[in-house]
Amino acid sequence: MWVVLALVFAFWSLLTLLIARRHNWARITTLLFFVGGIGFWIWDPSALSDLPAYGLALELIDTVITVVALYWLFTGSGAAWFRPVKHADHAL
């Protein structure tokens, strides 16, 4: 179990690092995983209803934080940050 946990942590850490390095596919992959997770909740609602109250609260907090982060990644200056940078000619 610890190996699986370590691999999941390593995967999300790598994906976050690649987002920080402006890899557009990494932010899209994160969005797809999030949508897939929401789809899983819809497909199997018992995954949420069987949780204790604190587990449900943590899931809700995690979901809200992820929605805010994805919103920032895909709108405004977050979206502009992923656009290719056009370098001006600074010939002296």
Residue 14 belongs to some domain of the structure: yes
Query: Does 59 reside within a domain?
Result: yes
Q: What pLDDT score was predicted for residue 48?
A: 86
Count of domains in the chain?
A: 1
Q: Give the distance from CA 48 to its chain's centroid.
A: 20
Mean pLDDT of the chain: 92
Residue 47 has pLDDT above 70, yes or no: yes
Residue 7, in any domain of the structure: yes
Instruction: Measure Cα distances from 14 to 10, 51, 53 in Å.
Output: 6, 29, 31
Average the pLDDT over 36-45 and give the result.
92
Q: For the purposes of burial, counting CB atoms within 10 Å of the CB of 90, is it exposed (0-12), middle (13-18) or buried (19 or more)?
A: exposed
Averaged pLDDT, 36-59 = 92
* Residue 92 within any structural domain of the chain: no
For range 36-55, the mean pLDDT: 91
Q: Which domain does 43 fall in, by range?
A: 2-79
Q: The pTM is what? A: 0.82
CA separation for the pair 58, 41 (Å, rounded): 15
